[in-house]
Amino acid sequence: MRLNRTKLAFFFISLLFILPGLAMSQAASVKIRQYVVDNANVFDAGTELELTRILTELEQATNGVQFVVFTEAQIPSDTTLEERTLSLAEENGIGKQGADNGVLLYLATEDRQYRWEVGYGMESTLNTPLLGRLSRQYMVPDFQAGNYGLGILKGIDAASKVILGSTDPDIVKLQSGDAGSASEISTGNIIIFSIIVLLALIMGIMRFFFMTRAVIRLASGKSKKEDKVFQDVATLILLGSLGGRRGGRGGFGGGGFGGFSGGGGSFGGGGFGGRFINC
C-alpha cells in the first residue's frame, strides 16, 4: 500500500511539470498566413487594408523584410509576453532564412501589453532604444485612449520609414534621439534584463532542488537502487518540463504562408515591449 501511495504521489507531481509544458506548446501553435492577424478585432477594414499595403510594399522594396502584425485579447496562460512573441515569430519563420530580417509587432489588448520581436538581421536597424522612443511617441498615447488600430498604424508607418531610410525630419529625429536618454534607456534595459535572468536562474535551481528532494523522499524506505531510479526519473521530468516551456526557441519552420516569399528567419529575443494604462 505504501508503494502504491508513493507511485500515485509521484505521478501527480510529474503532471505538475508536464502539463504546463504541453499547454505552452499548444498556445504557441499558430499558423500565420498573412501580414495582419487581428484576433482582437481592433482594425476596421480600411485600417487593415492600409497596413497590408504598407507591409507588402515594404517587403517588395527591401531584401524581403517580412513584417507581421498580430493582435489578440490575452496572452495565453502560463506564457510570458516574450515567450509568446518569440514562439510566434520562430514557428512561422518570419523573415528570410540567412537574412533573418523578420519583424513582429504584437498586441494583447486586455492584458494591455505590446512587443516588437526583431530578427537578428534587423536588430541594428530597429534597436531597443529606437523602438522605445517610437512606441512612446507613436503608439502608446493611442493605446491609452483605446485607439489600438490607429496606434499600430502609426507605429508600423514609422518603423517602415526607418527601415527604408526615410529622410523625413520626424524619422531622422526619431533615429538620432537624445544620446544621453538613449544611453540611459539602454543601460536601464540591461540592468532590468540581468535582474530578471538572475531571478529566473535562482528560481529554477530552487525548483530543481526542492522538487527533486520531494520526489526522492516519497520513495524513502526502498533500496538504494530504487532510490536511484526515482531520482533519475525526477530529473528527466524536470528537464523535460523546462524544455517544453522553451521549445519554441529551439527551432523554426520555413515560410509557407501566403503572401510571403522565402521564410525561416531566426530570432534571438531582441526587440522592445511594455505595458500601458488606459486613460
215 pLDDT tier (thresholds 50, 70, 90):
low
264, pLDDT greater than 70: no
Q: Which three cell numbers stand for residue 55?
A: 507591409
pTM: 0.64
Q: How confident is the model at residue 202 (pLDDT cuts 50, 70, 90)?
A: confident
**Cβ atoms within 10 Å of 264's Cβ, excluding its own:** 20
What residues does 108 pair with on adjacent strands?
72, 113
Residue that is written with C-alpha cell 528567419 in the block: 265
CA-closest candidate to residue 174, choices 122, 148, 136, 118: 136
The closest of 25, 165, 32, 211 to 105, measured between CA atoms, is: 32
Q: Which pLDDT does position 201 carry in this prediction?
A: 77
Higher pLDDT, 8 or 217: 217
Query: To 5 degrees, how large is the angle CA 266–CA 271–CA 276?
Result: 140
Does the pLDDT of residue 186 top 50, yes or no? no
3-state secondary structure of 3: helix
- For residue 247, what pLDDT is reported? 38
**pLDDT for 37 beyond 60:** yes
How many C-beta atoms lie closer than 10 Å to residue 279's C-beta? Answer: 8
Residue 237 vs residue 270, higher pLDDT: 270
pLDDT digits (tens, 9 = 90+) for 44-75: 999 999 999 999 999 999 989 999 999 999 99
* Run of H or E including 25: helix 2-28
Q: Which of 123-132, 143-152, 195-204 has the lowest average pLDDT?
A: 195-204
Q: What 3-state DSSP class applies to 130?
A: helix
Task: Phi first, then psi: give them for residue 65, nearest 5 degrees.
Answer: -60, 120
* pLDDT tens track for 71-111: 999 999 989 999 999 999 999 999 988 889 999 999 999 99
What are 222-262's pLDDT values in tens digits? 545 555 555 555 555 555 544 444 333 333 333 334 454 44
* C-beta separation of 73 from 108 below 8 A: yes
CA angle 31, 37, 41 (to 5 degrees): 135
Q: What is the DSSP letter of 76?
A: P
| Portion of the chain with pLDDT greater than 90, in percent | 49
pLDDT in the model for residue 262: 40
